Amino acid sequence: MAAKVVVIGSGAREHALVRALLQGAAVGEPRELVCVPGNPGIAREARCVQPRGNDAQALADAALAESPSLVIVGPEAPLADGLADRLTAERVPCFGPSAKAARIEASKAFAKEIMREAGVAAAEAVLFDERDAARAHARSQKHGCVVKLDGLAAGKGVVVCDDAAQAVAAVDELWRPGARLLVEERLSGPELSVIALCDGETLIALPPARDHKRLLDLDRGPNTGGMGAVSPPSDAPPALVESILETVLRPTARALAERKMPFVGALYAGLMMTPQGPRVLEFNCRLGDPEAQAILLRLRSDPLPLFLAAAQGRLTGQRPVWDSRTAVAVVLAAHGYPGHPRALDEIAGLDTLREVEGEDLWILHAGTRLHDGKLVTSGGRVLTVAALGAGPSQARARAYGAIARLGFRGMQFRQDIAAREA
């Protein structure tokens, strides 16, 4: 009987997972792919199932109804709400952490506590549960700071401030009753995402990637969920990744295991390369988006045995094979993103691009839907175009060449993804 894999999510990261699992079928065992809920792009490649709702219970019900051999969870929210716990209770292997371990992302305060325990170097922060105290502290931050909401905010709970006035304004903007805020030292340097597959005990680092968080070229404009990624960045040699694995990811996984909340899934460290060395800005409990689109495009071995081994505590001995070329992923976002993305703009050009898609060019759907028989925008990040090239400039040329053939009204994208890579 073919293995049945259920992928949970509806973004370009999940589309990339489905693509990689399909490509893996060419070298691995036969498989059936189901996506809950998926999107119109994924629906061309896997069966999509609509759950009753989008909460963890409804997603778990839909996944369990398939009697899957493996469930891979893309986004953080259902993990924080116990989706993996429910699947584990039903003895279904799940790639994704328990609600307890997912707090490494869901609570920045918890993440700081674990890092302190594990001796991991992170940005210094002070935690506030009163607005006035947070404001007073913000007022003393003359040289800038970063104000963060302690909770899941889809990449929008962070304001980087240049001076005290901006810091006070950020406290007022992010504050809500019952909230906790962190006021963090503002670091500088290039950012890097290092993600490890983790089975609770054993870790395997994926190739490094660099996200481009700001909306506009030259890292201007507001923070977003991510506007593009490159893997590998030219300043992240294997020795750096290895040292981040040893000094950041392994100690963090060990601290979680010691607290009886072993981490299973993708443990993601968002780092800043400061003059004093790498510092953790955040942990995520899942693959990054758009990092996953770039990283998975480089996977040359079958992801199915790898993700299943992680879910079943058998990662030791797994050896994923990576393409040595560079992958560049560019996000195409809707008009109004990241504030109020506009829906219903018709998307043109996808049909002609389908002929040139293959193992080195992926056009991945996220916020798209069918409306009156036409494909239209229906979310902030609409598509990701990911391409491989011998180096960053060739990968960029391929990705932007494909983008030139695509379009919708109000389409926003950065022209400079990977532009500063050597």
- Contact residues for ligand GLY (CB under 6 A)? 155, 211, 226, 284, 288-289, 291
State which of residues 7, 72, 160, 310 lies at the interface with ligand AMP (CB under 6 A). 160
Interface stretch with ligand AMP, choices 73-81, 155-163, 250-258, 364-372 (CB under 6 A): 155-163
Q: Which residues contact 96 (CB under 8 A, 6 or more apart)?
A: 8, 71, 72, 73, 79, 83, 84, 102, 264, 265, 266, 285, 286
Please tell me the distance from the alpha carbon of residue 396 to that of residue 417, in angstroms, as a whole number: 7
Q: Which does 284 bind (CB under 5 to 8 A by kind): ligand AMP, ligand GLY, none?
A: ligand GLY
Closest CB to ligand GLY among 291 and 345? Answer: 291
How far, in Å, are 6, 48, 78 from residue 56 at the CA level?
Answer: 14, 17, 5
Dihedral over Cα of 235, 241, 247, 249: its sign = positive
Closest CB to ligand AMP among 38 and 228? Answer: 228
State which of residues 158, 364, 386, 406 lies at the interface with ligand AMP (CB under 6 A). 158
Helix 164-174 vs helix 131-139: crossing angle, to nearest 10 = 160
Give kind and range of the element (H or E) at residue 357.
none
Q: What is the DSSP string of 392-406?
A: HHHHHHHHHHHHTT-
- Contact between 290 and 366 under an 8 Å Cβ cutoff? The reply is no
Closest CB to ligand AMP among 280 and 403? Answer: 280
State which of residues 184, 291, 345, 421 lies at the interface with ligand AMP (CB under 6 A). 184
| Strand-pair partners of 223 | 214
Interface stretch with ligand AMP, choices 46-54, 83-91, 186-194, 384-392 (CB under 6 A): 186-194
Closest CB to ligand AMP among 55 and 191? Answer: 191
Closest CB to ligand AMP among 184 and 291? Answer: 184
Supply the Cα-derived Rg of the chain in whole angstroms: 20
> What is the chain's length?
422
Instruction: Tell me how far, at minimum, the Cβ of 151 lies from ligand GLY, in Å.
Output: 14
270 scored as a contact of ligand AMP (CB under 6 A): yes
Using CB under 6 A, which residues numbered 94 to 133 contact ligand AMP?
123
Binding site for ligand AMP (CB under 6 A): 123, 146, 148, 155, 158, 160, 184-187, 191, 213, 223, 270, 281-282
